């Protein structure tokens, strides 16, 4: 037989299932002597109660669903790490899944999480209005949104102030001398558009400005460098690159160095996120920090409050970005 059940233990210890259940969850209600006896039997068989059954019977699952957009992206990994920091010590496990930036996938995953009766979910949505959010609401699953400001104000979120972050980047650019400014963005996402909007708002009009889209990975970034050298004459014109996420920026910087272009003398680069790798990459990156791990921790804490009903109104946490100057600009 596969698993010993509560009945097996009960029979062998000569008590009822209820008593066994009690030593599991309310030991104080059981006489020490019998408690001892039951425990001995449990240990003898290495009995582990069936969590699934416990949950069906009404207990919380102690599982939190975490939906990120991309597993191989340091930004999300660090967010997940922050989440783990908070959740793990409290006995929660996280069901970590990736939507791979696909909205249907996100919906499917959220359905599956709801179906798994997770106690709450942390979601980094692919798009602004998502079916996933409706489902979450309909199922009354506590949740907090990460890295996006949902239009439904009843929802909690923890996100960076992307508009402001863009402005900060532009302000720094305005202090420089350069012949052109190029903005490089990846997946179309609200946060990215806001960063660009803030950037344009403040950017000095004396700069030639151009944008490259759909540069989504480190590899994409590296590949883009060759193109830029040709089409934008990187080697002739002093250039500033604003890359809206560090993950890609790192790929770009590395390739620039490989191609022998000097940073920041010939090309300056400013990134966004301040993931950990920016401090030890080829040329330590100047970037707009949104304290990635902190986002995860904050979101997890809020979710916990929601779950424990210590909080009823939504938390709208717009984290203020900060400029981190390193060597790339």
Partner DNA sequence: CTGTTAGCGCCTTCAC
Partner DNA sequence: GTGAAGGCGCTAACAG
Closest distance between DNA and the C-beta of residue 72, in Å? 33
Q: If 0-12 CB within 10 Å is exposed, 13-18 middle and 19+ buried, where does residue 90 land?
A: exposed
* Concatenated DSSP letters of 228-278: HHHHS-TTTS-EEEEES-HHHHHHHHHHHHHTT--TTTTEEEEEEE--GGG
The listed partner (a copy of itself, DNA, none) that binds 17, CB under 5 to 8 Å by sort, is DNA
Which segment (14-22, 164-172, 236-244, 268-276) binds DNA by CB under 7 A?
14-22
Closest distance between a copy of itself and the C-beta of residue 197, in Å? 29
Between 97 and 243, CB nearer to a copy of itself? 97
Instruction: Give, as ranges, the residues between 174 and 203 that touch DNA (CB under 7 A).
Output: none
The listed partner (DNA, a copy of itself, none) that binds 81, CB under 5 to 8 Å by sort, is a copy of itself
Q: How far is CA 100 from CA 68, 124, 151, in A?
A: 8, 11, 23
Helix (H) or strand (E) holding 12: helix 6-13
Interatomic CA distance for residues 252 and 258, integer angstroms: 10
Residues that bind a copy of itself (CB under 8 A): 2-3, 46, 48-53, 55-56, 61, 63, 71-72, 77, 80-81, 84, 88, 93-98, 100, 109, 111-117, 134-135, 138-140, 218, 250-251, 253-254, 276-277, 279-282, 284
Instruction: Give, as ranges, the residues between 29 and 68 that touch DNA (CB under 7 A).
Output: 29-31, 33-35, 49-50, 53-54, 56-59
Tell me, rounded to whole angstroms, the distance of Cα 185 from its chain centroid. Answer: 18
Q: Is there a cis peptide before residue 301, judged by omega within 30 degrees of 0?
A: no
Among 12, 15, 97, 160, binds DNA (CB under 7 A): 15
Between 175 and 280, CB nearer to a copy of itself? 280
Task: Check residue 26 for interaction with DNA (CB under 7 A).
Answer: yes
The listed partner (a copy of itself, DNA, none) that binds 274, CB under 5 to 8 Å by sort, is none
Interatomic CA distance for residues 75 and 53, integer angstroms: 36
Report the side by side order of strands in the sheet with 180-184. Answer: 208-212, 180-184, 239-243, 267-273, 286-289, 322-324
Between 250 and 303, CB nearer to a copy of itself? 250
The listed partner (DNA, a copy of itself, none) that binds 14, CB under 5 to 8 Å by sort, is DNA
Q: What is the CA radius of gyration of the chain?
A: 25
Task: Check residue 5 for interaction with DNA (CB under 7 A).
Answer: yes
Torsion of CA 239, 177, 184, 218, to 10 degrees: 60
Tokens of 214: 């759909």
The listed partner (DNA, a copy of itself, none) that binds 313, CB under 5 to 8 Å by sort, is none
Binding site for DNA (CB under 7 A): 3, 5-7, 14-22, 24-26, 29-31, 33-35, 49-50, 53-54, 56-59
């Amino acid at each position: 037989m596969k698993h010993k059940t509560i009945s097996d233990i009960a029979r062998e210890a000569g008590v009822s299932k209820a008593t066994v259940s009690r030593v599991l969850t309310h030991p104080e209600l059981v006489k020490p002597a019998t408690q001892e006896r039951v425990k001995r039997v449990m240990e003898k068989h290495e009995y582990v109660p069936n969590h699934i059954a416990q949950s069906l019977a009404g207990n919380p699952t102690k599982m939190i669903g975490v939906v990120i957009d991309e597993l191989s992206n340091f930004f999300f990994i660090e967010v997940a790490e922050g989440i783990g920091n908070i959740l793990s010590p409290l006995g929660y496990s996280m069901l970590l899944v990736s939507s791979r930036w696909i909205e249907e996938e996100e919906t499917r995953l959220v359905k599956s999480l709801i179906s798994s009766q997770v106690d709450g979910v942390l979601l980094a949505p692919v798009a602004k209005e998502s079916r996933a959010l409706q489902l979450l609401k309909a199922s009354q699953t506590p949740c907090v949104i990460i890295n996006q400001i949902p239009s439904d104000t009843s929802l909690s979120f923890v996100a960076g102030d992307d508009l402001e972050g863009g402005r900060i980047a532009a302000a720094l650019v305005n202090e420089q001398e350069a012949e052109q400014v190029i903005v490089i963005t990846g997946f179309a996402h609200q946060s990215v558009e806001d960063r660009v909007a803030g950037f344009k708002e403040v950017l000095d009009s004396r700069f030639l400005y151009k944008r490259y889209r759909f540069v989504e990975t480190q590899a994409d970034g590296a590949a883009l460098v060759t193109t830029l050298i040709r089409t934008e004459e990187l080697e002739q014109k002093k250039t500033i690159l604003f890359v809206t996420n560090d993950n890609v920026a790192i790929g770009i910087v590395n390739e620039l160095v490989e191609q022998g272009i000097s940073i920041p003398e010939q090309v300056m680069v400013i990134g966004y996120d301040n993931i950990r790798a920016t401090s030890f990459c080829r040329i330590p990156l100047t970037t707009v920090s949104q304290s990635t791990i902190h986002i995860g921790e904050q979101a997890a804490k809020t979710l916990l409050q929601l779950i424990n009903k210590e909080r009823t109104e939504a938390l709208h946490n717009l984290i203020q970005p900060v400029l981190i100057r390193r060597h790339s600009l």
